[in-house]
Chains A and B, each alone.
Chain A
Amino acid sequence: MGETRKIALTVNGKRYAEEVEVRMHLGDFLRQQLGLTGTHLGCEHGVCGACTVLVDGVSARSCLMLAVQADGRELLTVEGIAPNEEELHPLQEAFRDNHGLQCGFCTPGMLTTLIEFLGDNPDPTEREVREAISGNLCRCTGYQGIVAAALDAAQRLKALKQA
């Protein structure tokens, strides 16, 4: 094992204090050291977006960030999106109802990217959704179901807010 350093961070509301190898990237750290395998690695060169997580609410490619850089940060990964064991988040519900996923491998990155996007832009146009996920590659869906899911989720979230 190479040089290590101690870091402390919060992931999905849970606090962790860990000793990490300094060269380990954040994606590997989440998956291998914390056992949070929901974050997927599709290219490890920053193009496909599958590994996207939110760091202090802002989307980041966990393959392009070192674990030590997450020291002191608050992270959200796909495992932290649903409110509980029984229910799904409205965005997840919308993905299911609109067939926004097939093999599911790009899905965690799509969800985290859209959580950030819908927070910034609660009433987006189709074009804006397409631009928002243009850094996330999907090989299965042709994106149409994902776009429909994002637009549907925006409506669901708006309705929840008004309720």
Chain B
Amino acid sequence: MAELFGSRIARLEDPALLRGVARYVDDISLPGMLHAAFVRSPFGHARIGSVDASAALALEGVHAVYAMDDIRPHLVNERLVVGLPSPSYRQNRDRPALADGEVVYVGEPVAVVVADSRYLAEDAAALVDVEYDPLPAVADCRAALEDGAPPVHLDAKHNLLAEFDMGFGDVAAAFARAPHVFRESIWIHRGGSHSIECRGGVAAYEAAEDLITYRVSTQMPHSALRTICEMLGRDENQLRVVAPEIGGGFGPKLVVYPEDVTLCIATMKLGRPVKWIEDRREHFVATTQERDQYWEVEIAVDGEAKILGIRGAMIHDHGAYTARGVNLAYNSGESLGLAYNVPAYALNIRLALTNKMPVTPVRGAGHPQATFTMERLMDRVGRELGIDRAEVRRRNLIPGADMPYEKPLKTRGGMGVLLDSGDYPACQQSVMDRLGWADFAARQDAARAEGRYIGIGLGNYVKGTGRGPFEAVTVRIGPSGRIHVYTGGVAIGQGTRTMLATLVADQLGGDMANITVTAGDTATISLGIGTSNSRLAVQAGSTAHAAAIKVREKALKVAAHMLEASEDDLEIVGSEIRVKGVTDMKVTLSQVANAVAGTPGYALPGGIEPGMEAEEHLVLDVMPYASGTAGAVVEVDAETGAVRILEYALGHDSGRIINPLIVDGQVLGGTAHGIGNALYEWMGYDADANPVTTNLAEYLLVGAAEMPNVQILHHESPSPLNPIGVKGVGECGVVPAPSAIISAIEDALTPFGVRLAGTPVTPAQIVAAIRAAPAGG
């Protein structure tokens, strides 16, 4: 039987999605369901006085308006406590269930209105009269840390949320003996996630069972269950959290939100299901983002451009509360220069509170920022020493022969950082060859002779994927003979069901159509971590593989007993287990499952344990590191500042590939997001912390017309860290894109001497940079 692993298999998910019959959270309608709208802060910072709901409640069809004082009696714990510990916190800023005496960012939920329809709920929300006493707000994360900055929270003495240092080696000595030291000031902006489906939830309380069922567009239902139960003081069997079809996640859907807790309380108080669906304008002020980092970094190199050391400081915009942890800034610090031999490294990281939406991971989670910073340094070294930029990189990249390569760093959970496999220089070379790096100067000269400015750029990255410790998977052959797979991971568009069905089918008969995958329902599996950090293929995939092998072994044992044959002579084909070469000696998967379902008073066949199933929680603590090189060729219009990407290639290594169709899709989608980060996406706030980009005409997502045809060059270095040799892929494309594109723009504008040190770069900024450059227009 041909192995399905590695085949370009069309996805199981697609038919329902293409017919429009898949059920996303907003497609769920329950009898008696009411609709919620939230009253949100219009101020970056204000004291809240009274909340007068009388006019809203007077509207016909309005059932309730709840502010913090109304839901407080239902809360054992009033704050959403996040799960990521760190010794570096200087203050605790967990989010309240609803604003409590103070609002600290525009969009912070103050009250919920529940009505017969969403239209009515919005009418009523506009009538809720909240007394605000505006306070000074701080929008810039650098300003937030200055002496005398207005406090983001009334009770705060300062705005430093956390501070820590990372590094290794003797940095002072490295810099003292270095013939060359170069300094860069870099700003990296990342925007929101902007999954095309916004957030939303439907909470339904059934008094007879004392059970809340909460269907929510989340990446982490088990974590949502724990947080909500803890806040409401409910047992874990009194809440079921279900992730229905999810219209994209990209990070922010991994945390639990004030709206989630409020909806669960509202359904209990009203005894009816309550639905809230975030609209896009809300998404800009109600869903977490990633935003700004400012880096001041120095690199020390020898005369041959070999890195001697890197040091510096970084300030990270944390937003007004801790919605996840110090993880983004930590990831950035951990991943700076990961692809290269760096003998000494020291970075001071400060996380600044600002009166803005809290931050959480957005696809890439801190890695694009560090990669951009490092790649800017590489370009700088090349320019200063007169050495080709690619050659500078090649001399410093960790060679394939040195793998596995241990970096003297720890992950946030204290695990070692082991670059497990890959040939980074070969990957870079493949991209250079594809884009004609060696001959590019001639092409560039010819273009310049025609008055056109073209440029080429590279970006190398290494990305930790598959974060542990585990993902739970159950594989079960039911009495019908159908194979059911359950996981705590969530399918958010990345083909999880197909991926798991492929791995299970390879062990259990090869018929993917006979497999149903249920992802993200806490009622079906007791443990689960969920979807983040490019983790499901590594964690859930490896575990599904292990569980399917256990079920296979058990099925063969039972079949051998039933057929009076040796297990070694049996094979599973489709829904049958048969004796190889003897077509009529067979039992079905259904018969095998029924044989171990148990009959009262009778022994199980072969003394085997009951049930044709296995639940596994493979513990995979050490992360596999995906890697690659992006290369871009751009043309810049020096008059308008418009950038067109002429060619784009991504050399990419995420270990063994389970399904090339899906891996290509992940890489391409990530690349589009990265191109958006490089050229278009900017979540703006004014000096008073008012958001100024609150619709998709002001905040630009990359469209089909702007996207180049991306050439993907696969490299497959199996990871030794898991049984199927895979690494994660979901975030990979996004990480190196801004590095390659900004480098290419700068290269195109070499005649002007333009220097770029941030993202995104807009046409107006390019025109301004050309005018300000030494040889500017």
Contacts and interface: CB of A to CB of B under 8 A. Distances in A.
B710 A144 contact: yes
A139 B709 CA distance: 16
B196 A139 contact: yes
Interface in B184-207: 193-198
B195 A139 contact: yes
Interface stretch (A54-62, A67-75, A99-107): A99-107
A56 to B, nearest CB: 20
B530 interface: no
A99 B665 contact: yes
Contacts of B662: 99
A24 B10 contact: no
A126 B15 contact: no
A24 to B, nearest CB: 7
For the complex of A and B, 9 pairs with smallest distance between CB atoms: A38-B20, A103-B493, A104-B17, A105-B247, A142-B668, A78-B20, A142-B672, A37-B27, A47-B696
A144 B707 contact: yes
29 contacts: A1-B116, A23-B119, A38-B21, A40-B196, A42-B280, A44-B280, A45-B695, A45-B697, A47-B697, A50-B196, A78-B18, A78-B19, A79-B21, A81-B20, A92-B18, A99-B662, A101-B14, A103-B195, A103-B196, A103-B197, A130-B705, A134-B705, A137-B696, A139-B248, A139-B250, A139-B669, A140-B248, A142-B710, A144-B710
A81 B117 CA distance: 30
Given A99-B662, A101-B18, 9 more contacts: A40-B24, A45-B280, A81-B18, A102-B493, A103-B493, A139-B194, A143-B672, A144-B668, A144-B709
A37 B495 CA distance: 22
Contacts of A88: 15, 18-19
Interface string B341-377: 0000000000000000000000000000000000000
A52 interface: no
Interface in B693-708: 695-697, 701, 703-705, 707
Contacts of B13: 104
Give the residue among B116, B194, B198, B707 with the most A Cβ atoms within 10 A. Answer: B707
B18 A96 contact: yes
B196 A138 contact: yes
A11 interface: no
Interface in B657-703: 661-662, 664-665, 668-673, 695-697, 701, 703
Contacts of A145: 664-665, 668
A48 to B, nearest CB: 6
B580 interface: no
Nearest to B493: A103
B22 interface: yes
B248 A43 contact: no
B627 interface: no
Nearest to B495: A102
B430 interface: no
B482 interface: no
Contacts of B21: 38, 79
Interface of A: 1-2, 21, 23-24, 31-32, 35-45, 47-48, 50, 77-79, 81-82, 88, 92, 95-97, 99, 101-108, 111, 126, 129-131, 133-147
A86 to B, nearest CB: 10
B475 interface: no
B695 A47 contact: yes
A77 to B, nearest CB: 7
Given A21-B119, A138-B196, A143-B704, A37 B671 contact: no
Contacts of B279: 41, 43-44
A96 B696 contact: no
Give the residue among A21, A104, A111 with the most B Cβ atoms within 10 A. Answer: A104
B258 interface: no
Give the residue among B20, B669, B671 with the most A Cβ atoms within 10 A. Answer: B20
Interface string B259-284: 00000000000000000000111000
Nearest to A93: B18
A99 B664 contact: yes
A43 B17 contact: no
B61 interface: yes
Contacts of A111: 18
B614 interface: no
A40 B247 contact: yes
A96 B710 contact: no
A1 B26 CA distance: 21
Contacts of A139: 193-196, 248, 250, 669, 672-673, 701
A155 to B, nearest CB: 17
Contacts of A44: 279-281
Secondary structure of the A contact surface, majority rule: loop
A77 B665 CA distance: 26
A37 B665 CA distance: 26
Contacts of B15: 88, 96
Contacts of B701: 137, 139
Nearest to A43: B280
A115 B26 CA distance: 25
B11 interface: yes
Nearest to A88: B18
A91 B665 CA distance: 18
A104 B22 contact: yes
Contacts of A95: 14, 18
A103 B661 contact: no
A25 B280 CA distance: 16
B696 A43 contact: yes
B245 interface: yes
Contacts of B27: 31, 37
Interface string B7-36: 000110111011111111011010000000
A162 B96 CA distance: 64
B705 A48 contact: no
B751 to A, nearest CB: 29
A96 B281 CA distance: 31
Nearest to A150: B704
Give the residue among A21, A79, A97, A144 with the most B Cβ atoms within 10 A. Answer: A144
A129 to B, nearest CB: 8
Nearest to A89: B18
B246 interface: yes
Contacts of B462: none
Contacts of B17: 101, 104, 107
B218 interface: no
Given A103-B247, A126-B709, A37 B196 contact: no
Nearest to A79: B20
B743 interface: no
B492 interface: yes
A45 B17 CA distance: 23
B474 interface: no
A23 B279 CA distance: 17
B73 to A, nearest CB: 33
A148 B662 CA distance: 15
B719 interface: no
Interface string B239-258: 00000011110100000000
